[in-house]
Each structure stands twice: as C-alpha cells, then as structure tokens.
C-alpha cells in the first residue's frame, strides 16, 4: 500500500543548535516536500534515498502552504536551515519567486542555510541571493574516481571548485559535506579518503561536515547491506577522521550522524556508541580533539583487526558478519 503524502505539509520540522561565526545558536530546520533532485531522476547517487520525500505533483502553491506551516513553528531562531530532496537553487524544484518568499518570511534569521548541487551554484544564480545565505554542497569526496565509481555523484571536483569560487566572489559562506565510507571502499580506504577530502575542502569552506553513510531505503547501498556486502562505518573511523582532520583544517569541522548507533548508521557496539556519539557532538561545537581522549572499548581491537583484514583479503564486504568468531584480536 502506498503512503499518503500531504503536499501542503513539510516533510519534517525540528530544532537543533549550530554555529554562526563562533557562536552557538538555536536553529530551526525544515525539509520542504518538492519535486525532487533532478539527478536522482536520471541515475542518482548510490547512497541517497532522500527522493522518497518528493513527488512530481508538488506545485508552487503547495510549497507556499508548506512555508506557512513552517512559519507556525518558527520562533525567531537565529539560524534557519532549508532542506529539500535536491537543490534549493534548481528553479525546476524551487521557483525563484518562492525562494524570495522564503527569505522574506524568515526576516528575523541571521543566517539561512540551504543545500544545492554544485552545477546550480553559479554567478548568475547567486546574483540576487539574500546576503544572509550559507550554501551547503555535498562534495562527498575530493577523489574523482570515488565520486564517479563509488558514489555516482554526477558532477566533478572541478564543478565543486567552480561553485566554491562563485560563492567566494559573492561573499557567501560554504559548508561542504563529505561522505565517510561510500560503497566499495574498505574501512581504511574510506578513512584515508575522507581525511584527504577534509584537507582539500577546508580551503574553500567555512565549515566541513563529515557525514557517515547511513543505509537508506531503496538505494544501491541498501542492496549491498542486505546481502552482507556493506557495513556502515565504525564510530572509531569517524573519531579517527575528525582527530586527523582537525590538524589539517582551519575551518570548523563537524559531524551530526544520521542513524548513529544503529545497525544502518555509523556504529561500534552497544557498550560505547552513546559515549562516542556524545563526544562527537561536543567536538563539533568545541573543536577540541581532547573530547576523544579516554574513549575506550574492547570493540576498538576488533576495528583495528578488521581494518587490516579487509585490506589483506582484498574485500570491502562486512567481514565481521561472516568471520567474527574466527578473527584473532590483539588484546594488548
């Protein structure tokens, strides 16, 4: 049975905290139900299932009704985040006239963050953008091969560079998303790829957000996960990336994992997941790698062993799912 979708109601609304120029502020977040990402309708990224919250039946009037619903919940938070299933700057998804209404409606906000694919971030599209804007772009990886083969992103690193330069010229801050552990990479290769990508993206960005892959419905990643050919990244891998990345980056480095501590999200074990996720949250605001000092759990030895075993075996599958009882871990 197909689910009923209310086209006049946002897909989600919640409140959280974020940072504006070093200040921790209350943040209002809404996801508009839209016609969806154009790339998803062609090929789509291998890990992305966000188009489940989209439908071609959405009109501009529906979007206005969603905005009205969102404004009923808005209480003057300093930061506003506007998410869609695709790109806020794609006029096929978000008409320019409605975009202006969004900016005008949130007149109390100091900063309005929205997401866009790189190809829509151009001098022309930025010409009349509200001065309070911050644009988030999902680069995912600074390695062209990973972008093309492991993510199927549909744009290149050079496209990201062009978008970043356009934002710099327009004096609009950039938040870059990086994907920790796309499919077909070993755990170790995924860590190295993300650390390298942090060093690259931080040159262009006010902030870099490391997003560990979570298994979303209807995706290639979910198919791999179901048959044991993919495991979401370990929390130990995320800690390693943030610790090493902090030393390489002058911009804010952060992570707010979706599904953290579940089998479909970044996780270690029940004994340590919450403590490590709490440390990641504190780090994201304080930028102090000492938040990770003292984190201990027996599963760390398993993570170390599996990092080596995957490389030795030449496989990216969830080795522990098949061989955990046969692996020997160094208990020193």
pLDDT reported for residue 320: 66
pLDDT reported for residue 331: 36
Give the C-alpha separation, 213 to 171, whole Å.
31
Q: What's the whole-model pTM score?
A: 0.93
Any bridge partners for residue 82, and if so which?
A: 30, 114
pLDDT reported for residue 4: 78
Q: Do 276 and 235 touch, CB atoms closer than 8 A?
A: yes
Residue ranges in the chain modelled with pLDDT below 70:
1-3, 312-315, 319-332
Taking Cα atoms as reference points, which of 224, 220, 188 lies closest to residue 313?
A: 188
pLDDT reported for residue 12: 95
pLDDT reported for residue 327: 45
pLDDT reported for residue 171: 97
Residue 80 is encoded by which pair of tokens? 């506003």
Length of the chain in terms of residues written = 332
Determine how many CB atoms are found less than 10 A away from the CB of residue 294: 8
Please name the residue ranges forming H helices in 122-186: 123-126, 144-145, 157-169
SS3 6: coil
């Amino acid at each position: 049975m197909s689910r009923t979708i209310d086209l006049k109601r946002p897909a989600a609304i919640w409140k959280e905290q974020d940072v504006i120029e070093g200040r921790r502020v209350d943040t209002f977040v809404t996801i508009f139900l839209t016609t969806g990402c154009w790339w998803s309708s062609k090929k789509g990224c291998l890990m992305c299932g966000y188009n489940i919250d989209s439908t071609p039946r959405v009109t501009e009037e529906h979007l206005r009704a969603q905005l009205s619903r969102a404004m009923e919940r808005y209480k003057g938070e300093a930061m506003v985040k506007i998410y869609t299933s695709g790109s806020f700057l794609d006029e096929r998804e978000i008409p320019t006239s409605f975009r202006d209404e969004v900016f005008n409606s949130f007149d109390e906000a100091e900063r309005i963050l929205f997401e866009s694919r790189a190809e829509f971030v151009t001098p022309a599209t930025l010409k009349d953008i509200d001065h309070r804007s911050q644009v988030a772009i999902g680069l995912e990886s600074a390695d062209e091969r990973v972008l093309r083969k492991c993510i199927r992103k549909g744009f290149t690193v050079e496209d990201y560079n062009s978008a970043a330069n356009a934002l710099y010229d327009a004096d609009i801050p950039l938040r870059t998303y990086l994907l920790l552990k796309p499919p077909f990479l070993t755990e170790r290769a995924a860590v190295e790829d993300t650390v390298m990508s942090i060093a690259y993206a931080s040159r262009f960005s006010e902030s870099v957000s490391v997003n560990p892959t979570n298994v979303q419905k209807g995706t290639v990643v979910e198919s791999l996960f179901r048959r044991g050919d993919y495991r979401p990244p370990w929390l130990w891998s995320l800690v390693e990336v943030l610790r090493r990345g902090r030393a390489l980056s002058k911009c804010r480095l952060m992570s707010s994992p979706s599904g953290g501590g579940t089998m479909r999200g970044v996780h270690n074990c029940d004994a340590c997941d919450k403590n490590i996720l709490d440390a990641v949250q504190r780090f994201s605001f304080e930028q102090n790698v000492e938040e990770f000092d003292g984190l201990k759990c027996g599963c760390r030895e398993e993570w170390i062993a599996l990092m080596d075993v995957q490389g030795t075996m030449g496989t990216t599958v969830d080795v522990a799912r098949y061989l955990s009882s046969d692996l020997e871990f160094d208990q020193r």
